[in-house]
Amino acid sequence: MTSGVTDMPLEELWRHRAPRTCPADFEDFWNQTIESARQAAQPADLRREASPVSTVLIENLTFSGYAGDPIQAQIVRPTTSAPAPAVLQFLDYGEGAGLPGERLHWASCGYVSVIMDSRGQGTRLTAGHTADPHGTGPSVPGFMTRGILDPETFYYRRLYTDALRLVDAVAELPFVDASRIAVTGRGQGGSLALAAAALHRRVAAAMPCAPLLCDAGRSIVITPQPPITEITRFLSVHHGREPEVLRTLAYTDGAELAYRVTIPTYMSTSLMDGVAMPSTAFAAFHNLASQDKSLEVYEHNAHEGGGYRHWLRQVEWLRERFGSD
């Protein structure tokens, strides 16, 4: 192992466990949140996107997320009409779904590729198209601390609910094989993939990469790079509010959600990642209830992880579970 920002030697990471922080009302909180969103939902809208790309179909899906809010997702799929397995992609912090045809790799392998916009984001690298209409109290610029003093108002309650509602919407599409829905994402997207795998019964496989918001109490103390440092900055000003912050984070902590993940799961982490510290990813991995689980470790990489090489491994892993149409 090379030196870098890793917080533990690799042999210790394989033994690391996070303390339990699960609130007593965790199940009720999420059941009520998703049921409320479903009751507020409007019919989904699917429209063809103009694009010079002719080998796949590109469409825009508008579906109802948290509180019935309209959320955008881009669908890229094979031109055949037979139902195909779907891969739902959740984006890293600040990214948006981008322009039509910007992400073609999963569709090129025969999957229905669905890329969800993250509400209010989409100003880093790729453009976003979905607003977040809900205001919050004091927060550090960014999204990590919006509404963080109460789990009811926390930004990530809304974003996780959007991810769960996307699974609902995709499972109803006639060109999707609803028995073969996978979720994936890196960083923030890895957290959303863990949440969907933990809280939605229609998800059949998960591939979270370097997830944020895992082992939150440890993460906010040791992580040197944004966006987790937004929480550290918040606490440096709002002295004495740590108990409220940690209580809120317990509802979205990937290490807690992992206990509820029973489906095949292929995770990854990088030992030089200063955005999503490797010990926090290991904490989530160890808590997975899946019988079929594995963790890819990239010793010399940072938050970019294994890049295209890791995607090739994901394709191979998913084909072993979903088959090849």
Opening angle at CA 132, ends 76 and 72, nearest 5: 15
Inter-residue contact 74 to 60 (CB < 8 Å): yes
* Helical axes 155-171 vs 26-39, angle rounded to 10°: 60
Query: Whole-angstrom Cα distance, residue 127 to residue 33?
Result: 28
Query: Whole-angstrom Cα distance, residue 126 to residue 158?
Result: 21
Bridge-based pairing state of the strands 57-64 and 45-48: antiparallel
Q: Known binder of ligand: residue 298?
A: no
Helices (H), 99-187: 105-108, 155-171
Closest CA to 305 of 145, 184, 125: 184
Query: Whole-angstrom Cα distance, residue 252 to residue 117?
Result: 19
User: How many other C-beta atoms are found inside a 10 Å radius of the C-beta of residue 272?
Assistant: 18
Residue positions in the annotated binding site for substrate? 93
Which positions make up the binding site?
93
